Amino acid sequence: MDLANSVAIVTGGASGLGGATVRKLAASGAKAVIVDRDDKKGEALAAEIGDGVVFRKTDVTDEAQVKAALDAAANLGPLRIAVNCAGVGWAARTVNRKGEPHPLDLFQTVVNINLVGTFNVLRLAAAAMADSEPTADGERGVIVNTASIAAYDGQIGQIAYAASKGGVVAMTLPAARDLSKLGIRVNTIAPGLMDTPMLAALPDDVRAALAASVVCPKRLGSPADYAALAAHMIANPYLNGEVVRLDGALRMAPK
């Protein structure tokens, strides 16, 4: 898929991994719709990049709001790219030290945003792509989802997050198979310790310890690292149905 002149939708696109992806796609000549719940950051990024990039406040679990964001993309041209970066985390054990069970509503919230929200955007974006004419090489679109190495190495207290991201991993291949006849590819990135706003709030010594745990290179991953891989997945026509760990060979300890 040629990035130049393509239209993309990026969820969680106001900052972090999504923000870096929007910048990467725009720098490569693509137009983009920033999908996020943060008005201030979303509008600021759209204004910073300028022509061809717009912001739409969207809850990824809301069908009507996602459809409205896709309509905004259609105003820019045929939708070719969807990158799902929206997600949340929550730390709680299955049963805590007081003997209390994990709150069910919090588990449902994490799964609903990270897994159901990803699927909601995937299905609606794929339907929009299916209506467009294929490119010269037969492609109609590319979808890149975001999982986490927690899908494989979930730590103590990560049961909700790991379950949600494990679901994203598991639906990658069947989604790619389902959409193959439409000329739509699906891949997933499973990031490790990324230097996003969530980690930026940690004390410097904690951040340094986390960086030291990475095998090589000895640093936190950057949003630009993620964006570079997402752009490659979009551009490489033979990359399909794959989940790629982006973690510097890190394997997480139990805690």
Task: Report helix, strand or coil for 201.
Answer: coil
Token pair, residue 43, equals: 């509008």
The 10 Å Cβ neighbour count of residue 127 is 14
Digit-coded pLDDT (tens) for 46-69: 999 999 999 999 999 999 999 999
Strands (E), 27-95: 31-36, 53-57, 79-84
Sign of the alpha-carbon torsion through 216, 221, 222, 223: positive
Residues noted as catalytic: 161
Q: Which amino acid is at 220?
A: L
For residue 138, give both structure tokens: 């037969």
- Domains of the chain with CATH codes: 7-194+223-246 (3.40.50.720)
Digit-coded pLDDT (tens) for 63-108? 999 999 999 999 999 999 999 999 998 899 999 999 999 999 999 9
pLDDT tens string 237-246: 999 999 999 9
Residue 31 confidence (pLDDT): 98
Whole-number CA gyration radius for the chain: 18
Query: Tokens 């026509």, residue?
Result: 237
Rounded distance between C-alpha atoms, residue 134 and residue 49, angstroms: 28
pLDDT range class, residue 119, cuts 50, 70, 90:
very high
Least Cα distance to 184 among 94, 124, 244 occurs for: 124
For residues 53 and 34, give the distance between their C-alpha atoms in angstroms, rounded to a whole number. 7
- Say what the pTM is: 0.96
Contact assessment for residue 168 and residue 146, using Cβ atoms and an 8 Å cutoff:
yes
**Quick one: DSSP state of residue 187?**
E
Average of per-residue pLDDT values in the chain: 95
Higher pLDDT, 137 or 38: 38
